[in-house]
Amino acid sequence: MDEPTLLAALAADLDRAFETLVRARQDRLYSIALRMLGDPSDAEDAAQDAFVRAYRALADWEAQRIRELRLDAWLATIVVNIVRTRARRRSAAGRRESLTFLDELDHPRSVPADTPEGRLTRREASEAWARRVLALPERYRAPVVLRHVDGLAYDEIAGVLGRPQGTVKAQVHRGLALLRAMLEAEGPEDGPAEAPSTPPFAPARRTTDIPIPRLQEVTR
């Protein structure tokens, strides 16, 4: 279903169409959350929260406003804000009780159809890249994830993060340079053996000159 059709369906009957939206965008929101947070359960929780917030917002909106929505940037804004809030009170006991389903729902829905050997090396390589991205300071990590993992355009990322487009471009560029530097520091064979030296969202990094938009400001 293309975006205008999906938006029209949401505007016409939110309850009926919402599952289609979740199915169509779950991998994107989950991937953004996972690459920013690192922990799969935290990421699932964040993605779940994001969809729930999206539904509640859409339920209050008029049809016209829903049809005019820039869906992907809007959803990314929601999940990025949740990820930031979550990271800030990371250890706080706030995680919801998740349900344990009896069916095969608990397992990943698909595994790459590769040879076992190829699959393994690819997953290892992917995990190494995931660790490097997590090691990026937050102000670079979010733009890099949104640009290169999610594939949003620069003007959309600027809207999501509430930063000027030029700043976002520079931050993506700088983020990639840091990734390259990490790769070089690791040497040829051994890959990134250790956990990121900078924990995600380290307090020292949070003092940023860039205003962080609140959800209401961006979605209003």
Partner 1 sequence: MIRSAGALTDQALAGPLADLRTTAPGTLVPHVLIDLGLADAYAPIDSPIGPLYVAFNGLGVVAVEQAADGPSFERAHATRYGRPAYPVTALPRRLATAIRRRLAGDRRARIPLDLRGRTAFERDVWAKAVEIPRGEVRPYGWVAAEIGRPKAVRAVGTALGHNPFPLIVPCHRVVRSDGLIGQYSLGGPANKRTILAAEGLDPDELEALAHAGVRYIGSDTTRIYCLPSCHHARRITDRHRMAFRSVAEGERHGYRACRVCRPGSASAAA
- Binding interface with partner 1 (CB under 8 A): 15, 18-19, 22-23, 26-31, 34-35, 40, 44, 47-48, 51-52, 55, 97-110, 122, 125-126, 129-130, 133, 144-145, 148-151, 173, 176-177, 179-181, 183-184, 187-188
What are 154's two structure tokens?
């620069």
The least distance separating partner 1 from the CB of residue 85, rounded to whole angstroms, comes to 17
Distance CA 142, CA 36 (A): 7
For every residue of 45-79, DSSP letters joined together read HHHHHHHHHHHHHHHHS-HHHHHT--HHHHHHHHH
Closer of 158 and 182 to partner 1 (Cβ): 182
Closest CA to 87 of 139, 51, 153, 127: 139
Closer of 69 and 144 to partner 1 (Cβ): 144
Closer of 29 and 73 to partner 1 (Cβ): 29
Closer of 110 and 207 to partner 1 (Cβ): 110
Specify whether the CB–CB gap between 5 and 26 falls below 8 A.
Answer: no
The least distance separating partner 1 from the CB of residue 185, rounded to whole angstroms, comes to 11
Closest CA to 55 of 84, 83, 24, 14: 14
Closer of 63 and 181 to partner 1 (Cβ): 181
The least distance separating partner 1 from the CB of residue 138, rounded to whole angstroms, comes to 17
The least distance separating partner 1 from the CB of residue 214, rounded to whole angstroms, comes to 22
The least distance separating partner 1 from the CB of residue 167, rounded to whole angstroms, comes to 17
What are 159's two structure tokens?
């809207």
Specify whether the CB–CB gap between 37 and 87 falls below 8 A.
Answer: yes
